[in-house]
Amino acid sequence: MKEEKTVSDKINALFIFIGLLIVANFIYVFLFFYKIDNLEESVYNKKLKEEYQLFDRYAFEALSSLINSEADPNDPMDLYLIGSTVLNRADHELYPSCVIDVIFEKGQYDGVNGNFKRTPQSDSIAFKLLSDLGRNREVLFFYNYHKATDKKFIRFLEKKCKLITVTKNHKFYGL
């Protein structure tokens, strides 16, 4: 004897079906983003992760954005050197050991207040630097000699620091 389903039974079955779809969708989205996070994590050099401990995708994005905002995009050396100053400061005892803290430390980089966004070119440079390719380990300071107005800072660099190299727009110094 077959029992006919009432309207309320059909509505209940529909709600159960919709609930299962919602749960399945949440699981799918969770797994999708979990997979992306793990893929992004695997991109970073494990040695660097141990060395700096706080390198993560946010540090990568901030480094890439800073490189883009501070450097001349037509001068690859400029891009590498500016990124190198961040990593070298994170290694230096006078600065925070976290890349994010170095980048956003008050008064250090003008680029955080301007065109602070990533580009494919700056992503590539940041990835190479974090993989320890092309990094100049001497540079800690730089200034744009076409735009710089802080005479005291320039005088400090010229008297107390060692000039490492000069690009089309910047002078780079180390201790």
Q: Are residues 74 and 119 in the same domain?
A: yes
Helices (H), the chain: 7-43, 46-52, 57-70, 76-91, 99-104, 120-130, 151-160
Residue 39 has pLDDT above 50, yes or no: no
Q: Are residues 50 and 134 in the same domain?
A: yes
In a domain, 150, yes or no: no
Give the tens place of pLDDT for each residue, 113-149.
777 888 888 888 998 898 888 889 999 999 999 999 9
What average pLDDT does the chain have? 81
Segment 145-162 shows an average pLDDT of: 94
Q: What are the phi and psi torsion angles at 141 (to 5°)? A: -130, 155
Neighbours of 110 (CB within 10 A): 13
Q: Which domain holds residue 124?
A: 46-138
Total domains in the fold of the chain: 2
In a domain, 59, yes or no: yes
Structure-token match 């207040």, residue found: 113
Q: Return d(Cα 119, Cα 123) in angstroms, integer.
A: 6
Q: What percent of the chain has pLDDT over 70?
A: 79
Q: Are residues 22 and 64 in the same domain?
A: no
Q: What is the CATH number of the domain that holds 110?
A: 1.10.10
pTM of the complete model: 0.67
Q: What are the phi and psi torsion angles at 96 (to 5°)? A: -60, 150
Q: Are residues 50 and 15 in the same domain?
A: no
Token representation of residue 127 = 């990835």
The predicted structure's pLDDT at residue 30: 56
DSSP 113: G
Q: Return d(Cα 84, Cα 76) in angstroms, integer.
A: 12
